[in-house]
Structure 1
Amino acid sequence: DWAAKGTQLLGIKTVIAESFERIHRSNLVGMGVLPLQFKEGENATNLGLTGEETFSVFGINDVEPLSELNIVARRLNGEELKFKVITRLDTPIDIEYYQNGGILHTVLRNMINKIKSKEN
């Protein structure tokens, strides 16, 4: 639980990993952090990633459960590396939580929408 909270509090928006433990993946989604998984046979080492890159994620607006997204990693020297990952938003509710910034934001938005609909 705190691993995902700490990640979010550090301002990290996305985590790319070879795999995710089930509860940790769920906690990341619940905190509004996007879990992405390397495709089979790929990892940071064989892609030559050092951790000093900046990453851009493409296709997130049209995401579906377990869909592929495109990543562009920009190295310090300006070189770009493009690769694909699997989004670990495994269900439609995961997508809703992520798009709302996490489970707390989703619950609050739903409560506000209920109040607004009662006022009309």
Structure 2
Amino acid sequence: MGKHGAGFSLVELMVVVAIVGLLSAFVYPVYSDSVTRANRSQIVVLLWEQSQSLERFFSKNGVYRGAENLSVGNKHYWVTHALGDHDFLLTATRREGASMVDDACGNFTLAHTGVMAITQAAPDLTEQQCWGH
């Protein structure tokens, strides 16, 4: 009885492992960056929605203070609200232990004037890069 191709040779297996390794080296960073940008987009949208809700409240009541049903954030960011009579500041702070805790964009703030800012961000990043504008 002769040998029949009953399996893979070590060389064939090593070629497959090398190909998978190379693909992983290129694909994972792209995937990871996409997830990070999506998480940033979620908090930016949430802050803008909160801002619009506060503006509607202000239109009805003449003050921001007392607005209710404001979001406290999502699984990546805490959102806090500093509400005055004629101004507000929304702050999205990265949650400890969440996947965004080491994000280079840091934390986000949005004021009643529409001014967007980032705090604790990498020095080479701008608000436009992090807010997606």
Identify whether the pair has TM-score above 0.5, normalized to the shorter chain: no
TM-score with structure 2 setting the length: 0.25
Q: Which has the higher contact order (CA 8 A, sep 6+)?
A: 1
Which has the higher Rg, Structure 1 or Structure 2? 2
Q: Decide which structure has greater strand share.
A: 1
The TM-score, its normalising length taken from structure 1, stands at 0.26
